[in-house]
Amino acid sequence: MMKFARRFFARPTAVFGFAVFVAIVAIALSAPLIFARGPFSIVGMPLLPPGAPGLFAGSDVLGRDMVVGLAYGARISLLVGITSTLCAVGIGILLGATAGYYGGLVDDLLMRFTEFFQIIPSFVLLMVLVAFMQPSLASTVIGIALVTWPQVARVVRGEFLSLRSREFVEAARVLGMRDARIIFTQILPNALPPIVAVSSMMVGSAILTESALAFLGLGDPNLLSWGSMIEGSRSAMWVAWWTTVLPGLSIMVTVLALNFVGDGLNEALNPRRRR
Amino acid sequence: MKLRYIAARLIKTVLVAIAVVVLSFFLIRLAPGDVATVMAGQSGFADEAFIKNLRAEYGLDQPLPVQFWKYASAVAQGDLGTSYVRRQKVTAIILERLPNTLLLDAFALVVAAAGGIWLGMVAARKPGSAGDSAVTVLSMLFYAVPQFWLGMMMVLVFAVWLAWLPPFGIETMGAEYTGLARLGDIAQHIILPGMTLALYFLASYARLTRTAMIEMADQDFVKTARAKGISERQVARRHILRNALLPLVTYAGLQASILVGGSVLVENVFSWPGIGTLAYEAVKARDNPVLLGIFIVTALLVSLFNLITDIAYSVADPRVELG
């Protein structure tokens, strides 16, 4: 574990990414404590520039404090990014492991299914899913998980396929272990590094996807997210740059930090892969 | 041998298309609500009789298997049905939009490939150098930036502040240019959306080229080439790059569905009249025939595109055998 941490923090980008990520988590968690009045409360005239009295980042089209909006937006981004990835990884592991371990018909079906996802424009499919389930936090998370799990399943399947005939698996079988136990206690721990690497990159892209959905008006109408802030200020972009620039920068910094963390994890977990 | 392979692949493409028709049809019908509820909501007088009439008009009151049979047999004859909203043939609508999307894609792909391969080569020349780090950081940035926001920033900087380029559309409305003047007009309009779309792919191409070139530089045939006394430039271009480009062909195939399906976001930001905006409008209006049509057409085109990349791959790399 110490070795792992040392390898991870040996990369400056990973240190930067981790620090920024921790800061964003802190902001997201403390937003309701610091800004108890909530992101929708109106605090002054609309479109005041950053630096106006009491408004560090200015106000938006409706005269709401941009700082509060940005802080609350972090909650949605992180929540959607992490929960949708966890769901996708869960589905991906279950199906990928079954396909890789048993092979045969299950495997064939799964591979055809992932191919379906590869030839269908996945963002269009996602829009259809979310719009038809009614846009909400839950439908966003479920939708993203449903279009991204095949990525995980492919990786898991590949790992299981190569691990299932190894000696330690044979040994477990000889000992009379049941399949489920072999899959979860013997093979899965050995297949974890690539799964972690794939899923760490998925959190960032899920955040991007959530913001894109919200930007298209397919986000939860009762929540303020970075994407919906940009959507709401589309008409004001020409006169008030901060209303669109700041939420966009927040998304970019968050995703960049997560990708740096992902890169660091990848590198620390696969020392053989080092250049 | 090759012919047999291509025939087998074409049959598989047809099977995939059938699967797409079946899966998307039922997926879309699973959802609660339909075009009738949306239209009733828009019209403001949502009484039962009105909704019932609409459903009867669109054939939505029939049992699902009957609806499916009707739809599938029409598709088999090349008829993708009629749009609920525009009352036009879906094939006609898609064919009208598809060229715009493909034009935008072609522009973006050329820019991305040229720029990305060049940046990747620069980065791979001296791994770990300042230039290499700059390319890596740049590509990480393009990966992390929300595409729609990047598009808006492009509009803000180049259309609003600098006023160099038009902010949206595919040509100037009402100008009625013809011939060369029209081409020039379209060329001006394509730059901003095209660059927005290109930058994302450019980042991927730069990273892929870099990794592949660094890997190749270690191979025996490269050492042999160097030992023969060929200049470093020639080694990089003739020997390393040619082999390093192979993964890019595969990658381009994987990206095909994003491209043919149209970038919903970029097209939306720039009001580009392509498949992406069409899909967005169809989702909003629950225009299922249009959505299904988009899925089927993209699936077919993507399968075809993948077949072409496979053949291209076997031409580029004689070691690969099809089959």
Of the candidates B140, B257, B264, which has its C-beta nearest A120's C-beta?
B257
Q: How confident is the model at residue A256 (pLDDT cuts 50, 70, 90)?
A: very high
Q: Select the more confidently predicted residue: A225 or B26.
A: A225
Instruction: Please enumerate in sequence order all residues whose Cβ is within 8 A of that of B288, keeping only pairs 6 or more positions apart, or say none.
Output: B28, B29, B34, B35, B84, B282
Rounded to the nearest 5 degrees, what angle is found at the Cα of B266, between the Cα atoms of B136 and B35? Answer: 140
Token pair for B63: 């049992």
Test B149 with A115 for CB contact under 8 angstroms.
no
A10, part of any domain:
no
pLDDT of residue A213: 93
Residue with tokens 């990973």: A14
Please report the domains of chain B, with CATH numbers, ordered by start residue. 2-76 (no CATH), 90-316 (1.10.3720.10)
pLDDT of residue A274: 43
Task: Measure the CA–CA gap between A27 and A75, rounded to whole angstroms.
Answer: 8
pLDDT of residue B45: 65
pLDDT of residue A81: 93
pLDDT in tens, A132-184: 888 899 999 999 999 999 889 988 998 888 888 888 888 888 888 888 888 88
Test B141 with A251 for CB contact under 8 angstroms.
no
How many structural domains are present in chain A?
1
Task: Measure the CA–CA gap between A256 and A262, rounded to whole angstroms.
Answer: 10
A59, part of any domain:
no
Rounded to two decimals, the ipTM of the complex is 0.88
- Residue B227 contacts A, CB cutoff 8 Å: no
Name the strand (E) or helix (H) holding A202: helix A188-215
Test B260 with A118 for CB contact under 8 angstroms.
no
A54, part of any domain:
no
- Residue B149 contacts A, CB cutoff 8 Å: yes
A206, part of any domain:
yes
Distance from CA of A258 to the nearest CA of B (A): 9
Q: How confident is the model at residue A275 (pLDDT cuts 50, 70, 90)?
A: very low
Residues in a beta bridge with A65: A59
> pTM value?
0.87
- Residue B100 contacts A, CB cutoff 8 Å: no
Mean pLDDT of the region A16-42: 86
Tally A–B CB contacts below 8 A.
Answer: 136
A173, part of any domain:
yes
Of the candidates B149, B286, B303, which has its C-beta nearest A119's C-beta?
B303
Rounded to the nearest 5 degrees, what angle is found at the Cα of A74, between the Cα atoms of A68 and A80? Answer: 140
Quick check: B147 and A216 in contact, CB under 8 A? no
A105, part of any domain:
yes
Domain around A170: 69-273
- Give the 3-state DSSP-derived string for A80-94, with helices as H, strands as E and coil as C: HHHHHHHHHHHHHHH
Token pair for A10: 């040996």
Task: Measure the CA–CA gap between A17 and A22, rounded to whole angstroms.
Answer: 9
Distance from CA of B146 to the nearest CA of A (A): 6
pLDDT in tens, A115-132: 777 778 888 889 988 988
Give the C-alpha distances (Å, rounded to integers) separating B134 from B206, B235, B316: 11, 24, 31
Phi/psi at B89 (5° precision): -65, 135
Distance from CA of B181 to the nearest CA of A (A): 29
- Residue B32 contacts A, CB cutoff 8 Å: yes
Q: Select the more confidently predicted residue: A88 or B219.
A: A88
Task: Measure the CA–CA gap between A125 and B296, rounded to whole angstroms.
Answer: 12
Task: Measure the CA–CA gap between A189 and B223, rounded to whole angstroms.
Answer: 40
Residue with tokens 């996602």: A126
Output the domain CATH number for residue A199. Answer: 1.10.3720.10
Test A208 with B148 for CB contact under 8 angstroms.
no
pLDDT of residue B33: 65
Test A212 with B27 for CB contact under 8 angstroms.
no
Token pair for B47: 């009484």
Test B140 with A256 for CB contact under 8 angstroms.
yes
**Ordered per-residue pLDDT tens for chain B, 323 residues:** 577 877 887 887 788 778 888 888 887 777 666 777 777 777 666 677 777 877 777 777 778 888 888 888 888 888 888 888 888 899 999 999 999 999 998 899 889 888 988 888 888 887 778 878 888 888 888 889 999 999 999 998 998 889 888 888 887 777 777 878 888 888 888 889 999 999 888 888 888 888 887 877 777 887 888 788 787 777 777 777 777 777 777 777 667 767 776 688 999 999 999 999 999 999 888 888 898 899 888 888 888 887 787 777 777 666 666 55
Question: For residue A95, is pLDDT > 80?
Answer: yes
Of the candidates A120, A256, A275, which has its C-beta nearest B298's C-beta?
A120
Test B261 with A259 for CB contact under 8 angstroms.
no
Percent of chain A residues past pLDDT 70, beyond the cut:
97
Q: Which residue of B has its CA nearest to A13?
A: B137
3-state SS class at A62: coil
Test A255 with B261 for CB contact under 8 angstroms.
no
Test B261 with A124 for CB contact under 8 angstroms.
yes
- H-assigned helices in chain B: 2-30, 35-43, 48-58, 64-76, 90-125, 130-144, 147-154, 179-216, 220-227, 232-234, 242-244, 246-260, 264-269, 275-285, 288-316
A29, part of any domain:
no
Residue with tokens 């926001």: B149
Task: Measure the CA–CA gap between B265 and A214, rounded to whole angstroms.
Answer: 11
A14, part of any domain:
no
Distance from CA of B258 to the nearest CA of A (A): 5
Residue B79: other Cβ atoms inside 10 A: 14
